[in-house]
Structure 1
Amino acid sequence: MATREEGAEAWYHRGQALCSTRNYSKAIACYDRALELSPEEPVLWRRKGFALIKAGRYDEAAACFDRALSLDPEDATAWQRMGYALAHLGEHNEAVACCDRALALDPHHIVAWQSRGWVLGVMCRYDEAMDCYEAILAIDPDRGSAAWHRERMRERRNLEALASEIREAERIIEVPACIRDVARERDYGNVDLARAVLRELAGQAERAAVQRP
């Protein structure tokens, strides 16, 4: 990092050290001192925003990333972190857009793919979330966390599909309690079986209705 003031760099490194020990409040104070000396340095704004995220101060973090991006709009990491902060503020569509900006700048930005997948999962857009984790695995096939999250998105998608199929089947059959329990208890291990049984029961009812004189 290059700053106009040697003192700003010293405060920056103090902030970094404090972040590494999770002392985020003191780290933020150090970044503030650095910014007093070098207010046009985007890395300082980005690092302060990161510390604010860790402290759970998402509004302030988003303001820092906004300032960092006004100084350096090509900073993929700042876009990713802006998206993360906005997601915590409930601005999910804007968060996805920020991740998209990050990935347009750096298609191999794994953390941006992770953030995008997480937000899409929160939005119940499970197939798109799975695509994000697939993208991570294409970059780093050994990243076990991406494979784990991909499977969780698949489970949630399938559970949502079961709930929808239960509502549809209720029009023609009495859905067994055991199938309802799978959905109610989020019994991911039995979702595929429950869906198969439900489809068979609904199909039997439909065939019987057609065969009636």
Structure 2
Amino acid sequence: MKYYKLAKDCEKYDRFQSALIYYDKAIDLAPNDENLYYSKGRLLQDEFENYSAAIICFQQCIEINPNEGKFYKSMGYSYWWLRDYPNALECYNKALELDDTNLGTWIDKGNVLKKLGRKDEALECFDYVISQDPEYERGWLAKAGFYKDTGDYEKALMYYEEALKINPDNYHTLNWMAQIYEELEWYPEAIECYEKYLELRPGSSYETRKIAELTEKSS
């Protein structure tokens, strides 16, 4: 379809407003094509951060084809950013009914449950992910983040270490660990994390400044 191809080409070159126009033209010609609404919804969600408009697109997808899990998953993501956690949870549950093998959806569900204060259920989701695929980095990061948020820093560090074994080049993990070490006043360990971060992202001013600050505190 000509307009769909034009929309995708515009996205490649960051011409997002033009892409949106072409998606609308494509939808006018094929109003029952769920993939057009999905592509438009993802564009609104990812590039415009217009989550309410994205949800309308995903709802249209579901009206056309109610048996595709990714529509519910994407809608749940938009509800998450709107802080509408009950609706986000409903979407993730529906997505998992349709495809319970998507480990990313289990993590998304766990994060929503954590926001709703249902911490035991959240932890069950993260543990399930790890049990299904111990090499899936996001599972360990989700569990580490859970303990970081609940103030159990030693457990958080333990699970961040597991994540680093899988992906030692994840500078986000190093940053989160450094924050914990700093909170615990374990300054040499925090400095080491920031130094490793700079090996991956040289010239970062924040981490450079933190090393200087923590070196002064630990001297």
Say whether the fold is shared (TM-score over 0.5).
yes
CA offsets, 1:41-80, max 9 Å, x none? Answer: 1111111111111121111101111111111111101100
Which residue, 102, 105, 108 being the options, matches 1:78? 105
The structure-2 alpha-carbon separation of the partners of 1:127 and 1:6, relative to structure 1 and needing over 3 Å to count, comes to farther
Which residue, 45, 52, 56 being the options, matches 1:25? 52
Which residue, 48, 51, 60 being the options, matches 2:78? 51
Which of the two has higher C-alpha Rg? Answer: 1
Matched-pair contact (CA < 8 Å) for 1:127–1:154: no
Return 5+ residue gaps in structure 1 as ranges.
Answer: 160-187, 194-213
**Match for 2:35: what amino acid?**
E
Question: Is residue 2:65 matched to residue 1:38?
Answer: yes
- Equivalent positions of 1:127-142 (< 5 A) are 127-142=154-169
Higher mean C-alpha deviation, range 67-76 or range 113-122: 113-122
Per the normalisation by structure 1, the TM-score is 0.67
Which residue, 149, 154, 160 being the options, matches 1:122? 149
Question: Is residue 2:178 matched to residue 1:151?
Answer: yes
Quote the Cα distance in structure 2 between the aligned partners of 1:128 and 1:6.
Answer: 49
Task: Find the counterpart in structure 2 of residue 165 from structure 1.
Answer: none
Task: Find the counterpart in structure 2 of residue 15 from structure 1.
Answer: 41
Quote the Cα distance in structure 1 between the aligned partners of 2:32 and 2:146.
Answer: 39
- Equivalent positions of 1:87-106 (< 5 A) are 87-106=114-133
**Match for 2:154: what amino acid?**
D
Which residue, 61, 81, 88 being the options, matches 1:61? 88
**Match for 2:54: what amino acid?**
A
Percent identity of equivalent pairs: 26
Quote the Cα distance in structure 1 between the aligned partners of 2:152 and 2:83.
Answer: 25
Quote the Cα distance in structure 2 between the aligned partners of 1:189 and 1:17.
Answer: 42
The structure-2 alpha-carbon separation of the partners of 1:94 and 1:154, relative to structure 1 and needing over 3 Å to count, comes to farther
Cα RMSD (Å): 2.4
Quote the Cα distance in structure 2 between the aligned partners of 1:131 and 1:106.
Answer: 18
Matched-pair contact (CA < 8 Å) for 1:92–1:123: no
The one of the two structures with greater contact order (alpha-carbon pairs below 8 A, sep at least 6) is 1
The number of residue pairs the alignment matches comes to: 160
Return 5+ residue gaps in structure 2 as ranges.
Answer: 1-30, 187-212
